[in-house]
């Protein structure tokens, strides 16, 4: 059903084309693709047969009506299939985002535990260093007291003892500082950078490197915007934590995207000129059986009236619109041209030459006075303002009267003699 051909496109006519227009288009197409005119084209027979099938359907009102209904059903099924595909893609994208968010939270928890363990180890090491320094200070103090007591016996021994005590003090202090440095160096180790942290969330892929690079650039741009110079993180371990925290905050803090909008319903409404003049709304039956009201304020032939939120309705999607194209029904005496209304006024030959005051019927049925100027030609127009269609801006178009010079139904001898005299000159 989805592969049915568009017979209107095959004949090159619009969907509201009349029977005469369809017949003329078929004749033109048939002549151009006739196999006798395209002997070198092996597809000429197929194209000619296709044009014939299209004409057979569209020339019969009953067949054409059934074809239009079937085609509208096919278009509705295609729109529904498109909606289902869009919803499936939205579900897959939401699932991927959810998985990425869960991975980010898991990695943040692991990094938080590692940071807590590091802080605990730092505190224990600091206590050890402090105890070692206090022990070294106590030993140095006791040795200094011993040296002072020995100095009262021998001045030379006092000097040597003092030097020895000074050296031992220096050695003790140096050993304590070395122990502290070694302890501080043992705690710090290789840490994972932004690339490795992002890789644990997204896997080893180019997307992981791109995510880490994007977060790093956003952090640098924020620091530059605040007027602060770029500087490294206080701790190598905290850098990926801050980076991923920013990423997760962006995931959590971003407002949820608005649901996608369902496709619009496209329809056409055939209205009369009187409906446009009265500016009243008309009813339209949609393919799903619903009836909607179409306002006609400031519209004309070919305008599209959009009915917000009255289209297709699906769970999880915003309701679509109904886009209605206005088509003005053909009238016997009037033709719509934008906001102007055109009509034809037949006049006799003498009135065309001498001019006259006459009347023409307006679109609302009233008679309108018209002054035909002398020596008027056929196809000459007379515009009567503010008798056309309302334009939606407080104004109206014009009634355009096209003059058409007409001869009498029966020949007139006086007019015939006059025309012969004008063409051939005086005769007897």
pLDDT tops 80 at residue 50: yes
Structural domains in the chain, sorted by start: 262-330 (2.60.260.20), 335-414 (2.60.260.20)
Mean pLDDT of 119-142: 87
pLDDT tops 90 at residue 225: no
| 121-130, 136-145, 341-350, range with greatest mean pLDDT | 341-350
Question: What percentage of the chain reaches a pLDDT higher than 70?
Answer: 73
More confident residue, 189 or 246: 246
pLDDT score at 367: 93
More confident residue, 120 or 197: 120
- pLDDT tens-place string over residues 280-332: 899 999 888 889 999 999 999 999 999 999 988 888 888 889 999 999 998 88
Q: What is the 3-state secondary structure (H, E, C) of the chain?
A: CCCCCCHHHHHCCCCCCCHHHHHHHHHHHHHHHCHHHCCCCCCHHHHHHHHHHHHHHHHCHHHHHHHHHHHHHHHHHHHHHHHHHHHHHHHHHHHHHHHHHHHHHHHHHHHHHHHHHHHHHHHHHHHHHHHHHHHHHHHHHHHHHHHHHHHCCCHHHHHHHHHHHHHHHHHHHHHHHHHHHHHHHHHCCCCCCHHHHHHHHHCCCHHHHHHHHHHHHHHHHHHHHCCCCCCCCCCCCHHHHHHHHHHHHHHHHCCCCCCCECCCEEEEEEECHHHHHHCCCEEEECCCCCEEEECCCCCCCCCEEEECCCCCCCCCCECCCEEEEEEECCCCCCEEECCEEEEEEEEEHHHHHHCEEEEEECCCCCEEEEEECCCCCCCCEEEEEEEEEECCCCCEEEEEEEEEEECCCCCCHHHHHHHHHHHHCCCC
pLDDT tops 80 at residue 368: yes
pTM of the model: 0.42
């Amino acid at each position: 059903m989805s592969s049915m051909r568009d017979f209107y496109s095959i004949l090159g006519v619009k969907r509201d084309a009349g029977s005469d227009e369809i017949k003329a288009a078929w004749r033109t197409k048939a002549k151009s693709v006739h196999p006798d005119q395209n002997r070198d084209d092996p597809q000429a027979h197929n194209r000619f047969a296709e044009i014939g099938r299209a004409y057979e359907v569209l020339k019969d009102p009953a067949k054409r009506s059934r074809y239009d209904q079937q085609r509208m059903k096919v278009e509705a099924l295609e729109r529904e299939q498109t909606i289902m595909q869009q919803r499936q893609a939205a579900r897959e994208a939401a699932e991927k985002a959810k998985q990425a968010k869960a991975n980010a939270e898991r990695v943040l928890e692991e990094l938080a535990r590692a940071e807590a363990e590091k802080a605990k180890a730092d505190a224990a090491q600091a206590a050890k260093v402090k105890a070692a320094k206090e022990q070294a200070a106590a030993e140095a103090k006791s040795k200094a007291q011993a040296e002072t007591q020995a100095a009262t016996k021998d001045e030379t021994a006092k000097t040597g003892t003092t030097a020895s005590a000074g050296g031992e003090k220096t050695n003790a202090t140096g050993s304590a500082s070395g122990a502290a440095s070694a302890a501080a160096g043992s705690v710090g180790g290789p840490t994972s950078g932004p690339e490795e942290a992002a890789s644990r969330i997204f896997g080893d892929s180019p997307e992981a490197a791109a995510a880490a690079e994007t977060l790093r650039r956003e952090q640098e741009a924020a620091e530059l915007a605040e007027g602060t110079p770029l500087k490294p993180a206080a701790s190598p371990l905290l850098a990926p934590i801050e980076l991923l925290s920013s990423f997760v905050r962006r995931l959590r803090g971003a407002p949820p995207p608005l649901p996608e909008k369902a496709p619009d319903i496209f329809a056409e409404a055939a209205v009369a000129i009187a409906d446009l003049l009265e500016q009243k709304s008309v009813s339209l039956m949609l393919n799903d059986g619903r009836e909607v009201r179409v306002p006609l304020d400031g519209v004309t032939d070919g305008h599209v009236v959009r009915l917000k939120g009255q289209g297709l309705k699906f769970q999880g999607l915003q309701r679509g619109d109904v886009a209605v194209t206005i088509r003005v029904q053909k009238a016997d005496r009037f033709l719509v041209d934008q906001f102007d209304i055109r009509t034809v006024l037949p006049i006799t030959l003498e009135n065309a030459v001498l001019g006259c005051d006459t009347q023409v019927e307006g679109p609302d049925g009233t008679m309108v006075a018209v002054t035909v100027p002398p020596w008027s030609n056929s196809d000459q127009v007379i515009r009567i303002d503010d008798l056309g269609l309302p334009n939606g801006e407080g104004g109206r178009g014009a009634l355009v009267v096209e003059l058409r010079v007409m001869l009498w139904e029966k020949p007139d001898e006086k007019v015939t003699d006059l025309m012969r005299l004008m063409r051939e000159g005086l005769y007897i």
